[in-house]
Amino acid sequence: MVIRLSERWPEVSSDRLLSECVPPPRFADVRFSTYRPDPDEPSQAQALDFLSERAQQLAKPRQAPTLWSRLRGRTPPPGKPGVYLDGGFGVGKTHLLASLWHESAGPKMYCTFVELTNLVGALGLRAAVDALSSYRLICVDEFELDDPGDTMLISRLLGQLVAAGVELAATSNTLPDKLGEGRFQAIDFLREIQALAAHFDVRRIDGPDYRHRGLPVAPEPWPEERVEKVAADRPGASCDHFVDLHRHLAELHPSKYGALLDGVEAVAITEIRELTDENVALRLVVLADRMYDRDLPLLAGGIPLDKMFSPDMLKGGYRKKYLRAISRLIALANTGMNV
């Protein structure tokens, strides 16, 4: 029987959100030794060396606090407490971030920025600080600020975690002091953004998107009948009409999108259309991220995936998010072509 994502209503506890803060299956086995820097892009090898050295320090047991440090509170590590990998799509930032997590001593946490904000929303700021202050390392993939609420929340959270001695690592497509530009009146929250930026040592990683090296821009969409037939014949495949799916996403908190895919082996979507509503588009970006985390093949009908976001959207403040989603969906659709 075909799974209908639009008919699922998952419930997700805060305990599950916390326990799932590990690298997704796609990055479960990556290590620094499996990262292949592009010889034409020296910044990739430089980032690899820098993070490998950082991991060696984080692999050492944390020293027991002295009486003086206990009286004063935990002493933050010397230098900036965080590293921030800035670069385009598909240059291996997430591979390097997951490798740092794998090769560091715990307790440690790995999540996307969206998952972090969802976790804090589920726990509350005070409980989140209490739960995370004991962590040695927190890795945050796809760091981005979408609204003033996120800016205030994450600024306070990370400030308190850094004061507790937690080390940070993050990836993003935007320099930390430029976060929020084009999305809201970032100038009004400049102090918070600058405070966030001050926590990080920025490392730029350049290079082309490896997911598209030698691949077409987007695979040709399948006829609707083929999408439905392949989904019906494949165990564990879901199949939803594009409109039914995005309407259902509007009724679920984004923290539940991962659970929505529990037990799913492939995702089929019929009649994909151009999006003009920013809210709908951003929900689909989160779903695309969760699909990519799980390496789920995509069977797509309708318009080509690189036409899913309107031209105006691809010029706006969320442009990088949409380009990342297109990059990931095309990678999954190319896998789906071989299903």
Model pTM score: 0.75
Question: Alpha carbon of 113 to those of 38, 46, 94, 146, 318: distances in Å?
Answer: 27, 25, 13, 10, 15
Please report whether residue 158 resides in a domain. yes
Please report whether residue 77 resides in a domain. yes
Domain end, chosen from 180, 208, 236, is at 208
272 bridge partner residues: 302
d(CA 185, CA 125): 24
Q: Kindly report, residue by residue over 48-62, the tens digit of the pLDDT.
A: 999 999 999 898 876
Same domain, 154 and 227: no
Domain end, chosen from 163, 188, 208, is at 208
Domain that holds residue 48: 31-208
Same domain, 142 and 290: no
Number of domains comprising the chain: 2
Please report whether residue 23 resides in a domain. no
Please report whether residue 177 resides in a domain. yes
Of residues 156, 158, 149, 132, the one with CA closest to residue 21: 132
Average pLDDT over residues 270-286: 94
Count the neighbouring beta carbons within 10 Å of the beta carbon of residue 165. Answer: 19
Question: Alpha carbon of 35 to those of 38, 132, 170: distances in Å?
Answer: 10, 29, 17
Same domain, 70 and 200: yes
Average pLDDT over residues 212-220: 64
CATH number at residue 129: 3.40.50.300
pLDDT at 48: 94
Please report whether residue 183 resides in a domain. yes
Alpha-carbon torsion 22, 24, 25, 29, what sign? negative
Query: Where does the pLDDT of residue 173 fall: very low under 50, low under 70, confident under 90, or very high at 90 and above?
Result: low
Same domain, 161 and 306: no
Helices (H), the chain: 14-19, 42-58, 67-72, 93-102, 113-123, 125-132, 148-163, 190-197, 224-233, 242-249, 257-260, 278-293, 319-336
Give yes or no for a contact between 209 and 89, defined as CB atoms under 8 angstroms apart: yes
d(CA 250, CA 234): 27
d(CA 323, CA 330): 11
Domain end, chosen from 179, 208, 237, is at 208
Same domain, 123 and 42: yes
Phi/psi at 140 (5° precision) = -125, 115
Task: Read off the DSSP letter of residue 158.
Answer: H
Region label for 243, one of left (φ > 0), alpha (ψ between -120 and 50) or beta (otherwise): alpha
Same domain, 194 and 282: no
pLDDT at 185: 44
Q: Kindly report, residue by residue over 283-316, the tens digit of the pLDDT.
A: 999 999 999 989 999 999 999 999 999 999 988 8
Query: 83-92, 209-218, 224-233: which has the minimum mean pLDDT?
Result: 209-218
Please report whether residue 270 resides in a domain. yes
Query: Where does the pLDDT of residue 85 fall: very low under 50, low under 70, confident under 90, or very high at 90 and above?
Result: confident
Same domain, 92 and 35: yes
pLDDT at 34 over 60: yes
Same domain, 219 and 332: yes
Biggest CA–CA distance in the chain, Å, is 71
